Amino acid sequence: MEGPERTEEAEPPAAALGADTGKSDDEAADPGSAAGRRPRGRTTLMIAGAALLGIVAGVCTGYVIQAGRAPTALPSLSQPVVGQAQGEVEPLSAAQDRRVRTDGDLRKLLITRPAGATSSRIPRGRDGWADLPTYAGYYKDPAGTFNALVSDEFRRAVTTSWTVGETYDVRINLVQFRQESKRAALEWAENGRYWAGKEPDTRDWPIPGTGDENGVAYVHDTPAQKPGYLPMYTAEAYAWRGDVCMEIHVYDSKPIAKAKIMDLAERQVGKL
């Protein structure tokens, strides 16, 4: 866009160029004439200069007065000496520091099987412990899972399982990571949630006590079907706390109620 049209400057008056104005010498010397008037800007400059000198003088006077005063003493840099406490400091209890619990026997953090339950028909692990190859064997791709666990700083895992009646089966895993370079417990819990959420005909609910979507329970309403076998309904739950990932799997030949998976999940999260 073009700007406004620019106008040329007017030609300066002849008097400014020193040309003959046609006036006599008397008219030029007349104080009342235009040529004999003193420019009005000179008085303004004198007043401004005097004001500036006054400001400078005031500043200099302030510095002189300040220089003549005694220096103000600075506060002492030393502080009172705090006496060292005597005796040994007692370590935090498990109620105050959760690492006291998770660094101990991790099997003690598994919930106990209910009264009347029997050992699972397909037990996993040994004496409650699941080493790296055993835990990786739970997955469809054990070799790939093994490598992923090594990369994610797998530390240890514990497991428990039981059966109630003829078809109701429960399996719970607690997987602990070293977490020196990543939040692996969170990532593995989210991985389980991702695959659980992809199953069709699935309902899910947040697990109380796990914070903002840090724990979710799922019920799959469509069973797996195989000729010659009863239908298998499943439910699962995933959560994490600190360096521990929690996994719960429930199987039954009948639809699994929300209350069953939620009860297991809430009780297990409460132990972490």
pLDDT in the model for residue 14: 38
What does the mean pLDDT of the chain come to?
80
Nearest-angstrom CA–CA distance, 130 and 156: 7
Max avg pLDDT among 1-15, 86-100, 176-190: 176-190
Convert the pLDDT of each residue in 153-212 to its tens digit.
999 999 999 999 989 999 999 999 999 999 999 999 999 999 999 999 999 999 999 987
**Pairing between β-strand 202-206 and β-strand 215-224 as defined by DSSP bridges:** antiparallel
**pLDDT higher than threshold 60 for residue 132:** yes
Judged by phi (left if over 0) then psi (alpha if -120 to 50, else beta), residue 143 lies in alpha
**pLDDT higher than threshold 70 for residue 91:** no
10 pLDDT tier (thresholds 50, 70, 90) = very low
Distances, alpha carbon 128 to alpha carbons 176, 196, 230, in Å = 14, 25, 29
pLDDT in the model for residue 15: 40
110 or 63, which is more confident: 110
State the Cα torsion 93-97-98-102 to the nearest 10°. -70
**Phi, psi values for residue 10, rounded to 5°:** -70, 150
Among candidates 201, 195, 180, 182, which has minimal Cα distance to 236?
195
190 or 95, which is more confident: 190
Convert the pLDDT of each residue in 97-122 to its tens digit.
556 667 789 999 999 999 989 988 76
pLDDT (mean) for 6-28: 41
Percent of the chain whose pLDDT exceeds 90: 55
Nearest-angstrom CA–CA distance, 185 and 189: 6
Distances, alpha carbon 149 to alpha carbons 13, 84, 99, in Å = 95, 46, 21
Convert the pLDDT of each residue in 223-234 to its tens digit.
999 999 999 999
Among candidates 162, 263, 164, 159, which has minimal Cα distance to 219?
263
**pLDDT higher than threshold 70 for residue 30:** no
